Amino acid sequence: MKAPERGALPLGLAATLGREYGRLTEVVQGLSDADFGLATRCPGMPVGPLLVHLLYDAERALIAFASPAVVGPDRDFVTYWQDFPPRMDGDNPDTSFVRGVAASYRRPGMLVQHWREVSEAAVRAAAAGLADKGRRIETQGHVLRATDFVATLVLEATVHHLDLTVGLPDAPEPDPEALQVTARTLDGLFGPEAWDLIGWDTTTYVLKATGRVPLSEDDLDMLGPRADRLPLLG
C-alpha cells in the first residue's frame, strides 16, 4: 500500500509558515480562560504552556534571521532533527519553564496577542530571509540554509498544532501544505522505504510517526521490523 505522494519542499515556504501560524492563531484566539488549561498531546503542557513553547520558537526564528551565518550548513531540514531524539513521557526540561511563563500572563488573551505579534513578525523575517538566495542561519548550534530552517519551523508548528487540538474538536486543522512538509521530513528520517511501506493518511502518519498515537497491531504488521524506528522524533 503506497502512502499519499508528498513530493519535495514547496517553493513558497514562508507563505506555508504564515498560513500554519495563522491557523494556530485561529485555534487559540477564541478560547476561554479555562480552555488554556486543557491537556494536549505533550505531557505536562496544557494549551497555555504549549503556546508559550511555540511563541519561543517563533522568537528563535526572529533571532536567527537577524544573525546570518557566514559558514556553510552542517544540517538540512531532515538531519536537523537527529539532534532531538524522542523523549520518554514527562522527560522534558522545558515543561516547568513554559508553565511558569504561561502563568505569568495576567490573562490568556495577552498571551495570544503576544503570540500573534511575534509569529507574524517571524513570517515576515522568513519571507525576507528566503528572498536572499543562499542565506544561511545559525540556530541550536547548527547552520542551515534558510529554506531548510523554515521547513523545521513548519514541522514544529504543525506537530504542535495537532497536539493543541486533541481536546478542541472544533478547531481548524493544520494547513495542508504544512502537513506535507512535515510528512516529507518524516520520510527523510524514516528512510526511502517510507513511501512504499506506510499506508496511513498524512495526518495519521504525523501522529503515529511522532509517537502521538500508539501503533496498532495492524500497524505493527504493516511496518514489520521497521516499527522499531518509530517514533522518529518527540
Q: Tell me the pLDDT band of 63, cut-offs 50, 70 and 90.
A: very high
* pLDDT computed for residue 197 by the predictor: 87
Residue 4 has pLDDT above 60, yes or no: no
Eight-class DSSP state of 139: E
Which positions ≥6 away from 228 have C-beta within 8 Å?
none
* pLDDT computed for residue 92 by the predictor: 66
* pLDDT computed for residue 3 by the predictor: 46
State phi, psi for 174 to the nearest 5 degrees.
-60, 160
Site of grid cell 544561511: 136
Strand partners, 63: none
C-alpha cell at 9: 519542499
Residue 13 has pLDDT above 90, yes or no: yes
Average pLDDT (41-56) is: 95
Q: At the fourth CATH level, which superfamily is domain 13-83+93-229?
A: dinb family like domain (1.20.120.450)
Residue 45 has pLDDT above 50, yes or no: yes
* pLDDT computed for residue 108 by the predictor: 92
State phi, psi for 144 to the nearest 5 degrees.
-130, 155
Residue 1 has pLDDT above 70, yes or no: no
* pLDDT computed for residue 6 by the predictor: 61
* pLDDT computed for residue 93 by the predictor: 64
Residue 91 has pLDDT above 60, yes or no: no
**Dmax over Cα atoms in the chain, in whole Å?**
51
Average pLDDT (225-232) is: 94
Question: What does the pLDDT look like over 173-219, one tens digit per residue?
Answer: 999 999 999 999 999 999 988 878 888 999 999 999 999 999 999 99
Summary mean pLDDT of the chain: 91
C-alpha cell at 234: 518527540
Percent above pLDDT 90 for the chain: 79
Residue 33 has pLDDT above 90, yes or no: yes
